[in-house]
Structure 1
Amino acid sequence: MIEEPAQLTVNKARNRPTAAQIAAFQGVQTSFVADALGGDGALDPAIRPLGEGRDIRCVAAGPALTADAGPADILATYAALHFLSPGDILVVAFGGHQRCAAVGDRVMGMVRNNEAAGFVTDGPVRDYAGIVDVGLPVWCTGLNPASPFSNGPGTVGLPISIGGRQVATGDMICGDRDGVVVVPFDQIDTVIARLAEIHKLEAKLDAEVANGRRHADKVARLIEDGKINYVG
Structure 2
Amino acid sequence: MFLTSEACLLETAVSKICNRRYMAGVVATAEACDSNAALLASGDLRVLQPVFQIYGQCRSFSGPVVTLKVFEDNVLVRELLETRGEGKVLVIDGGGSMRCALVGGNLGQLAHNNGWSGIVVNGCIRDVDEINGCGIGVRALGSHPLKSNKKGHGDKHVPVYIAGVYIAGSFIRDGEWLYADSDGILVSKSELSI
TM-score, with normalisation over the residues of structure 1? 0.63
1:57 Cα deviation from its structure 2 partner? 3.3
Q: What residue in structure 2 maps to residue 38 of structure 1?
A: 40
- Residue 78 of structure 1 aligns to a residue whose secondary structure is helix
1:74 aligns with 2:74: yes
Question: Could you tell me whether the CA contact under 8 Å between 2:26 and 2:179 is conserved in 1?
Answer: no
Cα deviation for residue 67 of structure 1 reads 1.1
Residue equivalent to 2:65: 64
Report the alpha carbon displacement of residue 44 of structure 1 after superposing the two structures with TM. Answer: 2.0
Please say if 1:174 is aligned against 2:179: yes
User: Given residue 110 of structure 1, which amino acid in structure 2 is its aligned partner?
Assistant: L
Q: Distance in 2 between the 1:128 and 1:65 partners?
A: 23
Instruction: Give the C-alpha shift of residue 79 in structure 1.
Output: 2.1
**136-145 or 75-84: which moved more?**
75-84
* Distance change >3 Å, CA 130–CA 24, structure 1 → 2: closer
Q: 1:24, CA displacement in angstroms?
A: 10
Tell me if structure 2 keeps the 8 A contact 1:49–1:179: no
**1 CA distance for matches of 2:104 and 2:82?**
18
Rounded to whole Å, the distance in 2 between the matches of 1:44 and 1:101 is: 21
Q: RMSD across aligned C-alpha pairs, in angstroms?
A: 2.2
CA distance in 2, matches of 1:48, 1:26: 22
Aligned residues of 1:139 and 1:179 also touching (Cα < 8 A):
no
Q: Is the 8 A contact 1:46 1:141 kept in 2?
A: yes
Give the superposition deviation at 1:25. Answer: 8.2
Counterpart residue identity of residue 65, structure 2: A
Query: Which entry has the higher C-alpha Rg, 1 or 2?
Result: 1
The change in CA–CA distance for 1:86 and 1:101 in structure 2 (over 3 A counts) is same
Runs of 4+ in 1 over 6 A off after TM superposition: none
Q: Give the 5 Å matches for 1:1-232.
A: 26-35=25-34, 36=36, 37-38=39-40, 41-50=46-55, 56-70=57-71, 72-165=72-165, 166-185=171-190, 188=191, 191-192=192-193
- Deviation per CA, 1:41-72, whole angstroms, max 9, x where unpaired? 1112112322xxxx7231011111111122x1
CA contact (8 A) 2:85 2:111 kept: no
Q: Is the 8 A contact 2:76 2:154 kept in 1?
A: yes
User: How many equivalent residue pairs?
Assistant: 162
Tell whether the 8 Å contact from 1:25 to 1:61 is kept in structure 2 after alignment: no
Q: Give me the TM-score of the superposition, normalised by structure 2.
A: 0.75
- Check the 8 A contact 1:69/1:75 in 2, yes or no: no
Superposed displacement of residue 122, structure 1: 1.0
What residue ranges of structure 1 are gaps of 5+ in the alignment? 1-22, 196-232
Question: What 5-or-longer segments of structure 2 have no aligned partner?
Answer: 1-21, 166-170
Separation in 1, partners of 2:173, 2:186:
13
